[in-house]
Structure 1
Amino acid sequence: MSKSILMIVGDFAEDYETMVPFQMLDLAGHEVHAVCPEKEAGDTIKTAIHDFEGDQTYTEKPGHNFALNATFEEVDAADYDALCLPGGRAPEYLRLNDRVIEMTRHFFAADKPVAAICHAAQTLAAADVLDGRRCSAYPACAPEVEAAGGTYVDVEMNEAVTDGNLVTAPAWPAHAAWIRQFLDVLGTRIEHAEPVTA
């Protein structure tokens, strides 16, 4: 059954962590609305590509412009079945928006599925929804997860963690695991048909 998913993004959200889940959830038959505070449907956000090239932290390069398809001020979290939070630099300021925090809390209070990746843990910590939860995130966010009462789970960059309705991962190399586990929590089943032979 198709689900409606709210995705909260902002300028300099991580490129892959925004575009890939948006497209993959759409491919799986779900309706995804991407919104950003102070922006409307049809506006764009700038994204940034975070890469891992052997330095002490990730490098950052310009990404694509990502088009929003819904207006932040018009959406009601109660109308959505699930929440998706990309990482990047956007969460560090999105978490200062009271409505972003209220929306995030709604999904936890209603026990709806939530997928958060990389620095999106900053939004979860600010919303005070991690107490007693297991949560993966970009390693630099581990202190914020733990300060919020969560247990930071240190997994490989291509792995994800599910704790009840919450699916988290450290960064975009985990997309396959993260999206697969989120689809499981959503109750989405993908069946493979036998190939047709002539």
Structure 2
Amino acid sequence: MATKKILMLVGDYVEDYEVMVPFQALQLVGHQVHAACPGKKAGEFVRTAIHDFEGDQTYSEKRGHNFTLNATFADLRPEDYDALVIPGGRAPEYIRLNEDVLAAVRHFATAGKPIAAVCHGAQLLAAAGVLKGRQCNGYPAVAPEIRSAGGSWVELPMDGAHTDGNLVTAPAWPAHPAWLAAFLKLLGTKIEP
């Protein structure tokens, strides 16, 4: 298996499980993952938020961990990466306001490189204008944004994932097994027992 270089776009109050689990899992299978946040440098951290499903109309939110970045956003060249991961949480809501972030997302979409977006990560895809004609999923509250951006909402259970060409999307962290498996398939990663 060839090691892939993966960019993970994060920001303060990224969802805890949605950043930490894929960051570690993708490294576990041999890929290089660079987690970067606009306005921050390698060695600095973002704060995470823990979202849980406790029977309310939407998720609850609690303060999570500090997640240390291992790449400096200002130094990144999207062309140097094979794939993109966009975790959810509150971070996509405000990092989508950064034109350099949107340009990076557009690079991966235009180049046909694998992209995975979980939960509110779809907000970043919508803001970058890369969902027109695409089928995808995210946290149910972002369905209107997906539709407004020209995408088609795919209904999934909370542990499901959907693949449309180079794009893998999922509703939230309970879908990690499904979306990570689909993303690894796009990357050409084979896991031997």
Same fold (TM over 0.5): yes
Partner in structure 1 of residue 53 of structure 2: 52
Partner in structure 2 of residue 13 of structure 1: 14
Partner in structure 2 of residue 134 of structure 1: 135
SS at match of 1:84: strand
Provide, for residues 129-177 of structure 1, a one-character-per-residue CA deviation record: whole Å limited to 9, x for no partner.
0011011100000000000000011100000000000000000000000
Partner in structure 2 of residue 175 of structure 1: 176
Alignment of structure 1 residues 92-171 onto 2, 5 Å: 92-171=93-172
Partner in structure 2 of residue 63 of structure 1: 64
Quote the Cα distance in structure 1 between the aligned partners of 2:53 and 2:154.
Answer: 20
Number of residue pairs aligned between Structure 1 and Structure 2: 192
Quote the Cα distance in structure 2 between the aligned partners of 1:72 and 1:147.
Answer: 29
TM-score by length of 1: 0.96
Amino acid at match of 1:51: D
Quote the Cα distance in structure 2 between the aligned partners of 1:184 and 1:91.
Answer: 25
Q: Which runs of 4+ in 1 moved over 6 A?
A: none
RMSD of the alignment, in Å?
A: 0.4
Partner in structure 2 of residue 32 of structure 1: 33
1:184 offset after TM fit, Å? Answer: 0.3
SS at match of 1:126: helix
Partner in structure 2 of residue 196 of structure 1: none
Structure 1: where are the runs of 5+ without partners? 193-198
**Identity, % of aligned positions:** 65
TM-score by length of 2: 0.99
Quote the Cα distance in structure 1 between the aligned partners of 2:82 and 2:29.
Answer: 15
